[in-house]
Structure 1
């Protein structure tokens, strides 16, 4: 395969198309939020660029997407795309092209996505001038207090338990999100002629 983009113009054209597709998905989701329906597609065009061509194409797709979002929505949204969706897309493309099992790609993508969530807390806290993590902890504390009262307990959860619950919730939500990304990629990319490794047997049996 020719190295991108020296000899085969298809690599450049496809990369530009995939980048514009990602930017369009991000833009639509911002103005018409549909929950995880569009979000689970964010990393896939970049991963597809890696599967169809190579790592350079994937990085270029991510960079072009970020530039488009910076023009259309401002640098803030561009950064929020790069971390974590762009990095997850490049990473998944790398792992899928090397036939990593789902256990490995899911774990790595979950770690990157969770770190991306932590970055989002810091980034948005700086922009807004407020500590969003503290605000989230207050909300979680209220939820846990309500939950414990519901079961007849008047004890107050300690701070360490609240922090642990918050971190566990972030990791679990990112794992669930990455599982959806993998499932969609398994279904869609196979039809595009760039299949990813097959899921574990128990997942196939659930979907059968």
Structure 2
């Protein structure tokens, strides 16, 4: 029963994230947590069943293309974080691998959505990277004329930085919330303890 409820919660959050014009950042933060909590509380089998059930629900609600997109990166990230927290792995391991999973999932989602809308969405990210690179060159007064490879590298760095922050915030939220739901996660390393020691909840 718990598996069904938490999988349904994740599926509804994904539907809200996909269709509602507001609350995107909040929905993104909430999306992996129910399935990760399920994994921490009930183990790998329940965690895998939860991810599979959420995908099946979303296929029924959104179709065979948009539904499985929840896996990239949120489903895989939820499973990884739940597995690593259930095993008591260090935050450095769960955070580092989580960033890799998040970055890869983001890029897969960009490719699939680009095919769906018939437009290269990576161009939007590239423009943001180009603007940031131009500002850095001006600010630091660097003798550099950015070419396409520099712009692409900056765009990729933006994606990685976004995932660094996102996965760390997921760790902090789980550290604050999960113990109240009988699903404690490992203590943060000493270097990060100051960032999460003050529980706002």
TM-score range, shorter chain: 0.7 to 0.9
5+ residue gaps in structure 2? none
CA contact (8 A) 2:32 2:77 kept: yes
Greater shift, 122-131 or 193-202, is seen at 122-131
Rounded Cα–Cα distance in structure 2 between residues aligned with 1:77 and 1:57 = 24
Rounded Cα–Cα distance in structure 2 between residues aligned with 1:97 and 1:24 = 25
CA deviation after TM superposition for structure 1 residue 188, in Å: 0.9
Rounded Cα–Cα distance in structure 2 between residues aligned with 1:152 and 1:107 = 33
Q: 1:115 and 1:93, CA in 2 relative to 1: closer, same or farther beyond 3 A?
A: same
TM alignment of 1:88-167, pairs within 5 A: 88-145=77-134, 148-149=137-138, 156-167=145-156
CA contact (8 A) 2:130 2:154 kept: no
TM-score (norm: length of structure 2): 0.86
2:172 is aligned with 1:183: yes
| Number of equivalent positions | 196
2:41 is aligned with 1:52: yes
Residue in structure 2 matching 1:173, options 145, 156, 162: 162
Q: 1:146 and 1:198, CA in 2 relative to 1: closer, same or farther beyond 3 A?
A: closer
Rounded Cα–Cα distance in structure 2 between residues aligned with 1:65 and 1:154 = 51
CA deviation after TM superposition for structure 1 residue 153, in Å: 7.0
2:11 is aligned with 1:23: yes
Q: Look at both structures and tell me which one has the larger radius of gyration over its CA atoms.
A: 1
TM-score (norm: length of structure 1): 0.84
5+ residue gaps in structure 1? 1-12
The residue that corresponds to 2:188 in the other structure is 199
CA deviation after TM superposition for structure 1 residue 151, in Å: 6.5
| Other structure's SS at 1:131 match | coil
Rounded Cα–Cα distance in structure 1 between residues aligned with 2:154 and 2:41 = 40
Greater shift, 152-161 or 162-171, is seen at 152-161
Rounded Cα–Cα distance in structure 2 between residues aligned with 1:79 and 1:86 = 9
